[in-house]
Structure 1
Amino acid sequence: MNTPEQSQLGKSAAYIDQYDASLLFPIPRAGKRAEIGITSAPPFFGADMWTAFELSWLNLRGKPQVALVHFTIPCESLNIVESKSFKLYLNSFNNTRFADADAVKARLRADITEAVWRTEGAPLAAPTTIGVTLVGADNFDREPVHELDGLNLDRLDIECTQYTPAPELLTVTPDEQPVSEVLVSNLLKSNCLVTGQPDWGSVQIRYSGDQIEQGGLLQYIVSYRNHNEFHEQCVERIFMDIWTRCKPTTLTVYARYTRRGGLDINPFRTSHPQALPRNVRTARQ
Protein backbone atom coordinates (compact mmCIF):
# COMPACT_ATOMS: atom_id res chain seq x y z
CA MET A 1 0.00 0.00 0.00
CA ASN A 2 1.44 3.38 -1.01
CA THR A 3 1.90 5.99 1.72
CA PRO A 4 2.43 9.74 1.29
CA GLU A 5 5.98 9.44 2.65
CA GLN A 6 6.89 7.10 -0.22
CA SER A 7 5.82 9.64 -2.83
CA GLN A 8 8.02 12.24 -4.60
CA LEU A 9 6.73 15.00 -2.28
CA GLY A 10 9.60 16.97 -0.77
CA LYS A 11 12.19 15.09 -2.87
CA SER A 12 14.22 16.06 -5.90
CA ALA A 13 12.68 14.53 -9.00
CA ALA A 14 13.87 14.47 -12.60
CA TYR A 15 11.37 15.61 -15.19
CA ILE A 16 10.66 12.80 -17.63
CA ASP A 17 9.56 14.22 -20.98
CA GLN A 18 8.58 10.94 -22.62
CA TYR A 19 5.21 9.45 -21.74
CA ASP A 20 5.34 7.33 -18.58
CA ALA A 21 2.13 6.25 -16.81
CA SER A 22 4.13 4.63 -14.00
CA LEU A 23 4.81 8.12 -12.60
CA LEU A 24 1.26 8.28 -11.18
CA PHE A 25 1.31 7.57 -7.43
CA PRO A 26 -2.07 6.51 -6.00
CA ILE A 27 -2.69 6.69 -2.24
CA PRO A 28 -5.62 4.77 -0.69
CA ARG A 29 -8.45 6.89 0.70
CA ALA A 30 -9.31 4.33 3.41
CA GLY A 31 -6.65 5.23 5.98
CA LYS A 32 -7.55 8.89 6.36
CA ARG A 33 -11.26 8.08 6.20
CA ALA A 34 -10.88 5.69 9.13
CA GLU A 35 -9.45 8.61 11.17
CA ILE A 36 -12.74 10.51 10.77
CA GLY A 37 -14.97 7.51 11.51
CA ILE A 38 -15.62 6.20 7.99
CA THR A 39 -14.97 2.46 7.99
CA SER A 40 -17.56 1.36 5.44
CA ALA A 41 -19.54 3.21 2.78
CA PRO A 42 -19.09 6.99 3.22
CA PRO A 43 -22.20 9.05 4.04
CA PHE A 44 -21.54 11.29 1.03
CA PHE A 45 -21.36 11.39 -2.73
CA GLY A 46 -19.22 13.65 -4.89
CA ALA A 47 -15.96 13.97 -6.74
CA ASP A 48 -12.58 15.63 -6.81
CA MET A 49 -12.46 18.11 -9.67
CA TRP A 50 -8.96 18.87 -10.91
CA THR A 51 -7.76 21.42 -13.45
CA ALA A 52 -4.41 20.99 -15.19
CA PHE A 53 -3.05 24.23 -16.61
CA GLU A 54 0.22 22.82 -17.94
CA LEU A 55 -0.37 20.12 -20.54
CA SER A 56 1.56 19.94 -23.80
CA TRP A 57 2.41 17.23 -26.31
CA LEU A 58 3.68 16.94 -29.89
CA ASN A 59 1.56 16.28 -32.93
CA LEU A 60 2.75 13.74 -35.50
CA ARG A 61 4.88 16.40 -37.20
CA GLY A 62 6.60 17.29 -33.93
CA LYS A 63 4.79 20.59 -33.39
CA PRO A 64 3.92 21.35 -29.73
CA GLN A 65 0.24 21.46 -28.75
CA VAL A 66 -1.18 22.96 -25.54
CA ALA A 67 -4.46 22.52 -23.64
CA LEU A 68 -6.16 22.87 -20.30
CA VAL A 69 -7.73 19.75 -18.84
CA HIS A 70 -10.58 19.31 -16.38
CA PHE A 71 -10.58 15.97 -14.55
CA THR A 72 -13.45 14.55 -12.48
CA ILE A 73 -12.43 11.75 -10.10
CA PRO A 74 -15.38 10.12 -8.28
CA CYS A 75 -15.05 10.07 -4.51
CA GLU A 76 -16.03 6.40 -4.39
CA SER A 77 -12.75 5.52 -6.13
CA LEU A 78 -10.28 3.63 -3.95
CA ASN A 79 -7.41 6.10 -4.24
CA ILE A 80 -6.46 9.70 -4.64
CA VAL A 81 -3.51 10.56 -6.89
CA GLU A 82 -0.69 12.40 -5.15
CA SER A 83 -0.46 15.78 -6.90
CA LYS A 84 3.31 15.95 -7.54
CA SER A 85 3.16 12.56 -9.25
CA PHE A 86 0.23 13.86 -11.30
CA LYS A 87 2.36 16.85 -12.37
CA LEU A 88 5.32 14.62 -13.29
CA TYR A 89 3.00 12.33 -15.26
CA LEU A 90 1.50 15.23 -17.22
CA ASN A 91 4.98 16.58 -18.01
CA SER A 92 5.91 13.19 -19.46
CA PHE A 93 3.66 14.08 -22.41
CA ASN A 94 5.90 17.02 -23.37
CA ASN A 95 8.03 15.32 -26.03
CA THR A 96 5.64 12.50 -26.90
CA ARG A 97 3.83 12.43 -30.25
CA PHE A 98 0.09 11.77 -30.40
CA ALA A 99 -2.17 11.52 -33.42
CA ASP A 100 -4.55 14.16 -32.10
CA ALA A 101 -6.17 15.62 -28.97
CA ASP A 102 -8.62 12.72 -28.76
CA ALA A 103 -5.72 10.29 -28.43
CA VAL A 104 -4.30 12.38 -25.57
CA LYS A 105 -7.69 12.49 -23.88
CA ALA A 106 -8.14 8.72 -24.16
CA ARG A 107 -4.66 8.09 -22.71
CA LEU A 108 -5.32 10.42 -19.77
CA ARG A 109 -8.67 8.80 -19.01
CA ALA A 110 -7.29 5.25 -19.15
CA ASP A 111 -4.21 5.92 -17.02
CA ILE A 112 -5.85 7.94 -14.27
CA THR A 113 -8.85 5.61 -14.10
CA GLU A 114 -6.46 2.70 -13.57
CA ALA A 115 -4.56 4.61 -10.86
CA VAL A 116 -7.58 5.63 -8.78
CA TRP A 117 -8.98 2.09 -8.82
CA ARG A 118 -5.64 0.27 -8.36
CA THR A 119 -5.43 -2.42 -5.67
CA GLU A 120 -2.56 -4.47 -4.28
CA GLY A 121 -4.21 -7.75 -5.25
CA ALA A 122 -5.73 -8.79 -8.51
CA PRO A 123 -6.53 -5.93 -10.91
CA LEU A 124 -9.97 -4.44 -10.33
CA ALA A 125 -12.23 -3.60 -13.23
CA ALA A 126 -13.04 0.07 -12.65
CA PRO A 127 -16.76 0.50 -11.86
CA THR A 128 -16.58 4.05 -13.26
CA THR A 129 -14.09 5.93 -15.38
CA ILE A 130 -12.91 9.42 -14.61
CA GLY A 131 -14.17 12.41 -16.54
CA VAL A 132 -11.74 14.23 -18.83
CA THR A 133 -12.51 17.48 -20.67
CA LEU A 134 -9.74 18.84 -22.89
CA VAL A 135 -9.90 22.58 -23.60
CA GLY A 136 -7.87 23.62 -26.60
CA ALA A 137 -6.16 26.98 -26.98
CA ASP A 138 -8.92 28.25 -29.28
CA ASN A 139 -11.32 28.03 -26.33
CA PHE A 140 -9.14 29.42 -23.53
CA ASP A 141 -11.08 32.70 -23.48
CA ARG A 142 -14.28 30.77 -22.72
CA GLU A 143 -12.94 29.64 -19.34
CA PRO A 144 -14.85 31.78 -16.80
CA VAL A 145 -13.78 33.13 -13.42
CA HIS A 146 -16.44 33.23 -10.69
CA GLU A 147 -16.39 33.32 -6.90
CA LEU A 148 -18.34 30.82 -4.83
CA ASP A 149 -21.93 31.93 -4.26
CA GLY A 150 -23.28 32.34 -0.73
CA LEU A 151 -23.33 34.52 2.37
CA ASN A 152 -19.73 35.43 3.16
CA LEU A 153 -18.73 34.43 6.69
CA ASP A 154 -15.58 36.54 6.47
CA ARG A 155 -17.64 39.65 7.22
CA LEU A 156 -17.85 38.56 10.87
CA ASP A 157 -15.57 40.34 13.35
CA ILE A 158 -14.50 37.38 15.47
CA GLU A 159 -11.52 36.38 17.58
CA CYS A 160 -9.58 33.35 16.34
CA THR A 161 -7.28 31.45 18.68
CA GLN A 162 -7.31 27.85 17.43
CA TYR A 163 -5.31 26.79 14.38
CA THR A 164 -5.74 23.02 14.37
CA PRO A 165 -9.15 21.46 13.64
CA ALA A 166 -11.51 22.17 16.53
CA PRO A 167 -14.92 20.58 15.81
CA GLU A 168 -16.14 21.63 19.27
CA LEU A 169 -16.51 25.14 17.82
CA LEU A 170 -19.47 23.91 15.74
CA THR A 171 -22.86 24.54 17.38
CA VAL A 172 -26.48 24.98 16.27
CA THR A 173 -29.50 26.91 17.53
CA PRO A 174 -32.14 24.15 17.78
CA ASP A 175 -34.82 26.46 19.22
CA GLU A 176 -35.00 28.44 15.99
CA GLN A 177 -36.84 27.46 12.82
CA PRO A 178 -34.81 25.15 10.52
CA VAL A 179 -33.08 26.96 7.69
CA SER A 180 -31.61 26.29 4.28
CA GLU A 181 -28.61 28.46 3.56
CA VAL A 182 -25.31 28.69 1.70
CA LEU A 183 -22.25 30.04 3.52
CA VAL A 184 -18.81 30.74 2.06
CA SER A 185 -15.37 31.70 3.31
CA ASN A 186 -12.07 32.54 1.64
CA LEU A 187 -10.12 31.91 4.86
CA LEU A 188 -9.55 28.19 4.46
CA LYS A 189 -5.88 27.28 4.69
CA SER A 190 -4.23 23.97 5.41
CA ASN A 191 -0.79 22.51 4.72
CA CYS A 192 0.55 19.66 2.63
CA LEU A 193 0.57 16.44 4.64
CA VAL A 194 4.23 15.73 3.81
CA THR A 195 6.02 19.01 3.02
CA GLY A 196 4.04 21.42 5.18
CA GLN A 197 3.71 23.84 2.25
CA PRO A 198 0.59 26.04 2.52
CA ASP A 199 -2.59 25.19 0.63
CA TRP A 200 -4.93 28.18 0.20
CA GLY A 201 -8.62 27.70 -0.48
CA SER A 202 -12.19 28.91 -0.42
CA VAL A 203 -15.04 26.80 0.91
CA GLN A 204 -18.80 26.73 0.35
CA ILE A 205 -21.14 25.03 2.86
CA ARG A 206 -24.73 24.42 1.80
CA TYR A 207 -27.07 22.82 4.31
CA SER A 208 -30.62 22.44 5.58
CA GLY A 209 -31.54 21.90 9.22
CA ASP A 210 -30.96 23.60 12.56
CA GLN A 211 -29.13 26.87 11.99
CA ILE A 212 -25.37 26.59 12.40
CA GLU A 213 -23.87 29.35 14.53
CA GLN A 214 -21.93 31.35 11.96
CA GLY A 215 -19.18 32.74 14.19
CA GLY A 216 -18.28 29.28 15.42
CA LEU A 217 -18.35 27.92 11.87
CA LEU A 218 -15.90 30.59 10.71
CA GLN A 219 -13.63 29.91 13.70
CA TYR A 220 -13.79 26.22 12.80
CA ILE A 221 -12.76 26.91 9.20
CA VAL A 222 -9.86 29.07 10.42
CA SER A 223 -8.81 26.26 12.77
CA TYR A 224 -7.44 24.33 9.75
CA ARG A 225 -4.71 26.94 9.33
CA ASN A 226 -1.86 24.81 10.73
CA HIS A 227 -3.35 21.42 9.86
CA ASN A 228 -1.37 19.04 7.63
CA GLU A 229 -3.63 17.03 5.32
CA PHE A 230 -4.36 16.69 1.62
CA HIS A 231 -7.16 18.77 0.09
CA GLU A 232 -9.56 15.85 -0.34
CA GLN A 233 -9.03 14.73 3.24
CA CYS A 234 -9.62 18.21 4.66
CA VAL A 235 -12.95 18.52 2.87
CA GLU A 236 -14.08 15.10 4.05
CA ARG A 237 -13.07 15.99 7.62
CA ILE A 238 -15.06 19.24 7.40
CA PHE A 239 -18.06 17.35 6.03
CA MET A 240 -17.95 14.70 8.78
CA ASP A 241 -17.49 17.22 11.61
CA ILE A 242 -20.51 19.26 10.48
CA TRP A 243 -22.53 16.12 9.72
CA THR A 244 -21.96 14.55 13.14
CA ARG A 245 -22.00 17.68 15.32
CA CYS A 246 -24.67 19.82 13.66
CA LYS A 247 -26.79 16.96 12.26
CA PRO A 248 -28.19 18.79 9.22
CA THR A 249 -30.81 17.05 7.11
CA THR A 250 -28.74 17.79 3.99
CA LEU A 251 -25.15 18.97 3.63
CA THR A 252 -22.77 19.88 0.82
CA VAL A 253 -19.16 20.96 1.28
CA TYR A 254 -17.25 22.29 -1.73
CA ALA A 255 -13.73 23.70 -1.62
CA ARG A 256 -11.63 25.29 -4.33
CA TYR A 257 -7.89 25.36 -3.66
CA THR A 258 -5.37 27.57 -5.42
CA ARG A 259 -3.15 25.82 -7.91
CA ARG A 260 0.31 24.45 -7.22
CA GLY A 261 2.56 23.02 -9.91
CA GLY A 262 -0.03 23.87 -12.54
CA LEU A 263 -2.79 21.88 -10.82
CA ASP A 264 -5.76 22.86 -8.69
CA ILE A 265 -7.88 20.38 -6.73
CA ASN A 266 -11.51 21.10 -5.87
CA PRO A 267 -13.25 18.45 -3.72
CA PHE A 268 -17.06 18.30 -3.62
CA ARG A 269 -18.93 16.18 -1.05
CA THR A 270 -22.70 16.02 -0.62
CA SER A 271 -25.10 14.00 1.52
CA HIS A 272 -27.53 13.45 -1.36
CA PRO A 273 -27.09 12.70 -5.06
CA GLN A 274 -26.94 15.81 -7.20
CA ALA A 275 -25.17 17.19 -10.23
CA LEU A 276 -21.62 18.36 -9.73
CA PRO A 277 -20.98 22.10 -9.95
CA ARG A 278 -19.25 23.40 -13.05
CA ASN A 279 -15.50 23.37 -12.65
CA VAL A 280 -15.17 27.18 -12.72
CA ARG A 281 -12.08 28.70 -11.14
CA THR A 282 -12.07 31.55 -8.66
CA ALA A 283 -9.90 34.65 -9.03
CA ARG A 284 -7.19 33.23 -6.78
CA GLN A 285 -6.91 30.12 -8.90
Structure 2
Amino acid sequence: MYTPEHSPLGQATHYPAQYDASLLFPLPRAPKRQELGLQQATPFFGADLWTAYELSWLNERGKPQVAIAHVTVPCETPHIVESKSFKLYLGSFNGSRFASADEVRARIRADVSEAVWRGSGQTGSVGVKLVLPEQFDAQQVHEVDGLLLDRLDLDCTHYTPAPELLAAHHDEAPVTETLVSHLLKSNCLVTGQPDWGSVQIAYSGAQIDQAGLLQYLVSFRDHNEFHEQCVERIFMDVWTRCRPIKLSVYARYTRRGGLDINPFRTSHPQPLPANVRTARQ
Protein backbone atom coordinates (compact mmCIF):
# COMPACT_ATOMS: atom_id res chain seq x y z
CA MET A 1 0.00 0.00 0.00
CA TYR A 2 1.52 3.30 -1.09
CA THR A 3 0.98 5.58 1.91
CA PRO A 4 3.62 7.49 3.94
CA GLU A 5 3.09 5.16 6.91
CA HIS A 6 4.12 2.17 4.78
CA SER A 7 7.22 3.85 3.37
CA PRO A 8 10.77 3.30 4.72
CA LEU A 9 10.58 6.60 6.63
CA GLY A 10 11.08 6.23 10.38
CA GLN A 11 11.79 2.51 10.13
CA ALA A 12 14.89 0.44 10.78
CA THR A 13 16.85 0.33 7.57
CA HIS A 14 18.85 -2.27 5.68
CA TYR A 15 21.22 -0.77 3.12
CA PRO A 16 21.42 -3.08 0.09
CA ALA A 17 24.73 -3.01 -1.78
CA GLN A 18 23.39 -4.52 -4.99
CA TYR A 19 21.20 -2.75 -7.50
CA ASP A 20 17.51 -3.07 -6.62
CA ALA A 21 14.85 -1.04 -8.42
CA SER A 22 12.12 -2.39 -6.11
CA LEU A 23 13.40 -0.09 -3.35
CA LEU A 24 11.70 2.92 -4.96
CA PHE A 25 8.50 3.73 -3.04
CA PRO A 26 5.96 5.88 -4.92
CA LEU A 27 3.49 8.07 -3.02
CA PRO A 28 0.33 9.39 -4.72
CA ARG A 29 0.00 13.14 -5.17
CA ALA A 30 -3.82 13.04 -5.21
CA PRO A 31 -4.67 12.93 -1.46
CA LYS A 32 -2.80 16.12 -0.59
CA ARG A 33 -4.05 17.86 -3.72
CA GLN A 34 -7.60 16.97 -2.75
CA GLU A 35 -7.00 18.76 0.57
CA LEU A 36 -6.32 21.87 -1.51
CA GLY A 37 -9.56 21.44 -3.46
CA LEU A 38 -7.81 20.05 -6.54
CA GLN A 39 -9.15 17.05 -8.41
CA GLN A 40 -7.84 15.94 -11.82
CA ALA A 41 -6.91 19.34 -13.26
CA THR A 42 -4.47 21.69 -11.54
CA PRO A 43 -3.93 25.41 -12.23
CA PHE A 44 -0.17 24.89 -12.40
CA PHE A 45 2.61 23.30 -14.41
CA GLY A 46 6.11 22.48 -13.21
CA ALA A 47 8.42 19.81 -11.90
CA ASP A 48 10.34 18.57 -8.88
CA LEU A 49 14.08 19.08 -9.35
CA TRP A 50 16.11 16.51 -7.40
CA THR A 51 19.86 16.59 -6.84
CA ALA A 52 21.61 13.44 -5.64
CA TYR A 53 25.14 14.00 -4.33
CA GLU A 54 25.88 10.45 -3.16
CA LEU A 55 25.76 8.39 -6.34
CA SER A 56 28.43 5.74 -6.88
CA TRP A 57 28.79 2.46 -8.74
CA LEU A 58 31.51 0.10 -9.96
CA ASN A 59 32.85 -0.03 -13.49
CA GLU A 60 33.33 -3.38 -15.20
CA ARG A 61 36.76 -3.78 -13.54
CA GLY A 62 35.32 -3.14 -10.07
CA LYS A 63 36.67 0.39 -9.71
CA PRO A 64 34.28 2.83 -7.95
CA GLN A 65 32.85 5.68 -9.97
CA VAL A 66 31.06 8.77 -8.63
CA ALA A 67 28.70 11.39 -10.07
CA ILE A 68 26.08 13.96 -9.12
CA ALA A 69 22.63 13.19 -10.50
CA HIS A 70 19.99 15.77 -11.47
CA VAL A 71 16.54 14.18 -11.74
CA THR A 72 13.53 16.14 -13.03
CA VAL A 73 10.10 14.72 -12.18
CA PRO A 74 7.16 16.45 -13.95
CA CYS A 75 4.41 17.52 -11.56
CA GLU A 76 1.89 15.82 -13.87
CA THR A 77 3.05 12.41 -12.65
CA PRO A 78 0.51 10.71 -10.37
CA HIS A 79 3.22 9.89 -7.82
CA ILE A 80 6.27 11.33 -6.14
CA VAL A 81 9.09 9.10 -4.88
CA GLU A 82 9.52 8.98 -1.11
CA SER A 83 12.98 10.43 -0.50
CA LYS A 84 14.39 7.78 1.85
CA SER A 85 13.45 5.07 -0.63
CA PHE A 86 15.22 7.08 -3.33
CA LYS A 87 18.33 7.23 -1.13
CA LEU A 88 18.23 3.46 -0.55
CA TYR A 89 17.70 2.87 -4.27
CA LEU A 90 20.70 5.00 -5.22
CA GLY A 91 22.75 3.30 -2.51
CA SER A 92 22.00 -0.06 -4.10
CA PHE A 93 24.20 0.95 -7.04
CA ASN A 94 27.27 0.98 -4.77
CA GLY A 95 28.27 -2.66 -5.21
CA SER A 96 26.96 -3.22 -8.72
CA ARG A 97 28.95 -3.10 -11.94
CA PHE A 98 27.86 -1.04 -14.94
CA ALA A 99 29.50 -0.63 -18.32
CA SER A 100 29.28 3.17 -18.35
CA ALA A 101 27.79 6.27 -16.78
CA ASP A 102 25.27 6.29 -19.64
CA GLU A 103 24.04 2.88 -18.54
CA VAL A 104 23.60 4.15 -14.97
CA ARG A 105 21.74 7.23 -16.21
CA ALA A 106 19.44 5.12 -18.40
CA ARG A 107 18.72 2.74 -15.53
CA ILE A 108 17.80 5.58 -13.15
CA ARG A 109 15.61 7.18 -15.79
CA ALA A 110 13.72 3.96 -16.51
CA ASP A 111 13.27 2.99 -12.85
CA VAL A 112 12.13 6.40 -11.57
CA SER A 113 9.85 6.87 -14.58
CA GLU A 114 8.17 3.55 -13.84
CA ALA A 115 7.72 4.41 -10.16
CA VAL A 116 6.16 7.85 -10.65
CA TRP A 117 3.72 6.60 -13.32
CA ARG A 118 3.01 3.23 -11.65
CA GLY A 119 -0.55 1.91 -11.89
CA SER A 120 -1.87 4.94 -13.78
CA GLY A 121 -2.22 3.34 -17.19
CA GLN A 122 -0.04 6.14 -18.52
CA THR A 123 3.61 6.30 -19.38
CA GLY A 124 6.13 9.11 -19.36
CA SER A 125 9.71 9.85 -18.61
CA VAL A 126 11.66 11.79 -16.03
CA GLY A 127 14.79 13.71 -16.93
CA VAL A 128 18.17 12.47 -15.65
CA LYS A 129 21.54 14.16 -16.04
CA LEU A 130 24.79 12.89 -14.52
CA VAL A 131 27.53 15.36 -13.65
CA LEU A 132 30.88 13.53 -13.74
CA PRO A 133 33.98 14.45 -11.69
CA GLU A 134 35.65 16.30 -14.55
CA GLN A 135 32.61 18.61 -14.55
CA PHE A 136 32.48 19.23 -10.78
CA ASP A 137 34.50 22.42 -10.94
CA ALA A 138 31.88 24.03 -13.19
CA GLN A 139 29.08 23.54 -10.64
CA GLN A 140 27.78 26.86 -9.35
CA VAL A 141 26.41 28.15 -6.05
CA HIS A 142 23.83 30.90 -6.50
CA GLU A 143 20.99 32.24 -4.39
CA VAL A 144 17.50 32.51 -5.82
CA ASP A 145 16.98 35.99 -7.25
CA GLY A 146 14.44 38.50 -5.97
CA LEU A 147 13.63 41.16 -3.41
CA LEU A 148 14.38 39.77 0.05
CA LEU A 149 11.30 39.69 2.29
CA ASP A 150 13.46 38.84 5.31
CA ARG A 151 14.56 42.49 5.51
CA LEU A 152 11.17 43.33 7.08
CA ASP A 153 11.12 43.82 10.86
CA LEU A 154 7.81 42.39 12.01
CA ASP A 155 6.06 40.19 14.58
CA CYS A 156 5.44 36.52 13.76
CA THR A 157 2.82 34.67 15.80
CA HIS A 158 1.54 31.92 13.47
CA TYR A 159 3.49 28.67 13.07
CA THR A 160 0.94 26.58 11.20
CA PRO A 161 -0.21 27.65 7.72
CA ALA A 162 -2.32 30.81 7.98
CA PRO A 163 -3.49 31.81 4.49
CA GLU A 164 -5.65 34.54 6.03
CA LEU A 165 -2.41 36.54 6.40
CA LEU A 166 -2.23 36.93 2.61
CA ALA A 167 -3.62 40.03 0.95
CA ALA A 168 -3.14 42.06 -2.25
CA HIS A 169 -3.83 45.68 -3.15
CA HIS A 170 -6.43 45.28 -5.90
CA ASP A 171 -7.26 49.00 -5.85
CA GLU A 172 -3.77 49.90 -7.10
CA ALA A 173 -1.94 49.47 -10.41
CA PRO A 174 -0.73 45.90 -11.07
CA VAL A 175 2.95 45.07 -10.70
CA THR A 176 5.40 42.39 -11.75
CA GLU A 177 7.90 41.40 -9.08
CA THR A 178 9.88 38.54 -7.59
CA LEU A 179 10.04 38.05 -3.83
CA VAL A 180 12.38 35.75 -1.89
CA SER A 181 12.62 34.42 1.65
CA HIS A 182 15.13 32.12 3.32
CA LEU A 183 12.85 31.58 6.34
CA LEU A 184 10.80 28.69 5.01
CA LYS A 185 10.80 25.72 7.38
CA SER A 186 8.45 22.78 7.45
CA ASN A 187 8.70 19.26 8.85
CA CYS A 188 8.69 15.78 7.37
CA LEU A 189 5.16 14.41 7.24
CA VAL A 190 6.19 11.12 8.88
CA THR A 191 9.27 11.69 11.06
CA GLY A 192 8.79 15.34 12.01
CA GLN A 193 12.40 16.13 11.06
CA PRO A 194 12.90 19.78 10.04
CA ASP A 195 13.08 20.72 6.37
CA TRP A 196 14.79 24.05 5.65
CA GLY A 197 14.33 25.98 2.45
CA SER A 198 14.47 29.19 0.47
CA VAL A 199 11.42 30.17 -1.55
CA GLN A 200 10.96 32.45 -4.55
CA ILE A 201 7.54 33.84 -5.49
CA ALA A 202 7.28 35.59 -8.85
CA TYR A 203 3.98 37.09 -9.97
CA SER A 204 2.16 39.69 -12.04
CA GLY A 205 -1.01 41.33 -10.76
CA ALA A 206 -2.23 43.25 -7.76
CA GLN A 207 0.72 43.95 -5.46
CA ILE A 208 0.92 41.38 -2.66
CA ASP A 209 1.32 42.73 0.87
CA GLN A 210 4.91 41.79 1.65
CA ALA A 211 4.60 41.73 5.44
CA GLY A 212 1.63 39.40 5.28
CA LEU A 213 3.40 37.17 2.75
CA LEU A 214 6.48 36.83 4.97
CA GLN A 215 4.34 36.07 8.02
CA TYR A 216 2.48 33.47 5.95
CA LEU A 217 5.73 31.77 4.86
CA VAL A 218 6.93 31.71 8.48
CA SER A 219 3.62 30.07 9.45
CA PHE A 220 4.82 26.80 7.87
CA ARG A 221 7.37 26.42 10.68
CA ASP A 222 5.48 23.69 12.60
CA HIS A 223 3.67 22.25 9.58
CA ASN A 224 4.16 18.59 8.58
CA GLU A 225 4.15 18.00 4.82
CA PHE A 226 6.55 16.85 2.13
CA HIS A 227 8.41 19.50 0.12
CA GLU A 228 6.27 19.10 -3.01
CA GLN A 229 3.07 19.41 -0.99
CA CYS A 230 4.23 22.56 0.81
CA VAL A 231 5.04 24.31 -2.46
CA GLU A 232 1.67 23.39 -3.94
CA ARG A 233 -0.06 24.66 -0.78
CA ILE A 234 1.83 27.96 -1.02
CA PHE A 235 0.95 28.27 -4.70
CA MET A 236 -2.75 27.60 -4.13
CA ASP A 237 -3.02 29.91 -1.11
CA VAL A 238 -1.41 32.81 -2.98
CA TRP A 239 -3.38 32.00 -6.16
CA THR A 240 -6.76 32.01 -4.41
CA ARG A 241 -6.17 34.75 -1.81
CA CYS A 242 -4.21 37.27 -3.90
CA ARG A 243 -5.59 36.37 -7.36
CA PRO A 244 -2.48 37.22 -9.42
CA ILE A 245 -2.60 37.13 -13.22
CA LYS A 246 0.55 34.98 -13.30
CA LEU A 247 2.31 33.14 -10.49
CA SER A 248 5.27 30.86 -9.95
CA VAL A 249 6.55 29.37 -6.69
CA TYR A 250 10.00 27.78 -6.45
CA ALA A 251 11.56 26.34 -3.29
CA ARG A 252 15.05 25.01 -2.79
CA TYR A 253 15.30 22.80 0.28
CA THR A 254 18.52 21.80 2.01
CA ARG A 255 19.64 18.25 1.47
CA ARG A 256 19.09 15.23 3.66
CA GLY A 257 20.71 11.89 2.99
CA GLY A 258 22.63 13.38 0.07
CA LEU A 259 19.39 14.52 -1.65
CA ASP A 260 17.79 17.89 -2.11
CA ILE A 261 14.29 18.39 -3.56
CA ASN A 262 13.37 21.64 -5.24
CA PRO A 263 9.74 21.91 -6.41
CA PHE A 264 8.69 24.48 -9.00
CA ARG A 265 5.07 25.35 -9.82
CA THR A 266 3.90 27.95 -12.34
CA SER A 267 0.54 29.11 -13.66
CA HIS A 268 1.88 29.55 -17.18
CA PRO A 269 4.27 27.60 -19.42
CA GLN A 270 7.88 28.67 -19.01
CA PRO A 271 11.31 27.04 -18.86
CA LEU A 272 12.22 25.26 -15.65
CA PRO A 273 14.71 27.12 -13.46
CA ALA A 274 18.31 26.00 -13.64
CA ASN A 275 19.04 23.38 -10.98
CA VAL A 276 21.73 25.48 -9.28
CA ARG A 277 22.40 24.91 -5.58
CA THR A 278 22.21 27.64 -2.98
CA ALA A 279 24.80 28.26 -0.26
CA ARG A 280 22.84 26.25 2.30
CA GLN A 281 22.55 23.29 -0.02
TM-score category (smaller protein): over 0.9
Partner of 1:146: 142
TM-score (norm 2): 0.99
- 2:122, 2:158 → 1: CA distance? 44
Counterpart-to-counterpart distance in 2, 1:276 and 1:223: 27
Post-superposition Cα deviations, 1:251-283, rounded to whole Å, max 9, x if no partner, equal 000000000000000000000001001000000
Instruction: Say which of 100, 110, 121 aligns to 1:124.
Output: 121
Offset, 1:174:
1.3
Partner of residue 275 from structure 2, selected from 274, 279, 284: 279
Question: Match for 1:38: what amino acid?
Answer: L
Structure 2 partner of 1:262: 258
Give the match's secondary structure for 2:262: strand
Q: 1:235 is matched with which residue: 222, 231, 237? A: 231
> Is 64-73 or 169-178 further displaced after alignment?
169-178
Give the deviation of 1:226 after TM superposition.
Answer: 0.2
Code of the aligned partner of 1:47: A
Q: CA deviation at 1:176?
A: 1.2
Report the residue type matching 1:34 in the other structure.
Q
Secondary structure of the residue aligned to 1:105 is: helix
Q: Distance in 1 between matches of 2:159 and 2:171?
A: 30
Corresponding residue number in structure 2 for 1:179: 175
Q: How many pairs does the alignment contain?
A: 281
* Aligned-pair identity (%): 72
Q: Output the TM-score relative to the length of structure 1.
A: 0.98
Q: Which of 141, 160, 174 matches 1:164?
A: 160
Query: Which residue number in structure 1 is paired with residue 16 of structure 2?
Result: 16
- Match among 194, 204, 223 for residue 208 of structure 1: 204
TM-fit CA distance, 1:125: 4.0
Alpha-carbon distance, 1:124 to partner:
2.7
- Give the Cα separation in 1 of the matches to 2:56 and 2:5: 29
Q: Which stretches in structure 2 are left out of the alignment for 5+ residues?
A: none
Q: Which residue of 2 aligns with 1:74?
A: 74
Runs of 4+ in structure 1 displaced over 6 angstroms? none
Give the aligned partner of residue 45 of structure 1. 45
- State the one-letter code of the partner of 1:278: A
Match 2:193 to one of 192, 197, 205: 197
Q: Deviations over 1:106-154 (max 9, x none)?
A: 00000000000001xxx7341x310000000111111100000000000
Partner of 1:97: 97
Please report the RMSD computed on the Cα atoms of aligned residues, expressed in angstroms: 0.7
Q: How far, CA to CA, are the matches of 2:105 and 2:170 in structure 1?
A: 50
Distance 1:249 1:125 in 2: 32
**In structure 2, how many angstroms separate the alpha carbons of the residues matched to 1:125 and 1:202?**
33
